[in-house]
Amino acid sequence: MASSTSKQQKQYHVRSISLPARSDPSTIRVAAELNKLKAWETRACPLKADAILGGLSGLAELYECIHNLLQTPHAQQAQVSIRQENWVDEVLDGSVRLLDLCDNSRNILLQMREAVQALQIALRRRGGEASWESSINDYICCQKKAKKEIEKCLGELKRLEAKLGSSSLPDSDSDHHLSAAVDALREASRSSICVFRLLLSFISSSSRTRTSKWSLVTKLLHKEQEATKEDEKLENEVKSVGDSLYALCRLNSNYDAKVERVRETQKRLKAMEASVEGLEVGLERLLKSLIQTRVALLNNLCL
């Protein structure tokens, strides 16, 4: 996971959008937000929830600035006259794909949070393993279902990435304001691809493949992909819960040890729930920003 993540990061280099000679404040703000987001992409080990939330917040800020840029008189007047150009379809198609990715990611997180909450309730009940096993199995099944959805999302990201830059930019000599706006939308899409890949990697994190004394849990865990040595060094809230659940399943009949392990698992589940809730809030804000930007673009093309 860690090695693949570093490869993803290397694909994105810090790049400033082209600014017209006399840039208006909206264009300058877009460039500043984009460069901050590009700098975020270069940071090491971004698979912690708070780091990914920073990326989501940066994207939301960027799209809010692009929304303001699209509402400037220069951008509105320019887009009315070129609504049939190829880049229009590219930008509109990209915005739809990003909206779908944002909504799908939010649904995955919601299902994960519900599974975590159910597991927390089960661990608070008295009755030991009999009351835990079903909820742990449900949690593992939720993770497996999430990974299938994540594969679909990753496919969408590849298609979005392949289409980026497929059409030529507007002539910057004839309308530098429009050229800067379209360039900003493209760069925002590239940054979105990076952030969503890291988010999906975070969600799909899991514990290492191990054995368990519970037969069904054993079968499910053995279907997980074996982690690399680098994975052992990489710890985030999702993987931490997986490791703790495995340790809980392996415990013998020592009552004190079980009580301590349950307490530790509850602590990690609480941390994961808080992280997932934070990411949901970040996705909600990003979704609103994406919708506003798309509406502004469509309004300009329909004037």
pLDDT (0 to 100) of residue 85: 66
Model confidence, pTM:
0.81
Q: What was the pLDDT predicted at 12?
A: 42
Ordered per-residue pLDDT tens for the chain, 303 residues:
444 444 444 444 445 555 554 567 888 899 899 999 988 888 756 578 999 999 999 999 999 999 998 888 777 666 555 555 677 788 889 999 999 999 999 999 999 999 999 999 988 876 656 667 788 888 888 989 999 999 999 999 999 999 887 666 555 444 566 777 788 899 999 999 999 999 999 998 764 434 344 444 444 444 443 443 344 444 688 888 888 888 877 766 676 777 888 889 999 999 999 999 999 999 999 999 999 999 988 887 775
Cα–Cα distance, 284 to 286 (Å, whole number): 5
- Residue pair 8/199 in contact (Cβ under 8 Å)? The answer is no
3-state secondary structure of 224: coil
d(CA 14, CA 152): 28
Helix ranges restricted to H, 125-254: 129-163, 176-203, 215-222, 229-233, 237-250
> What is the reported pLDDT for 129?
66
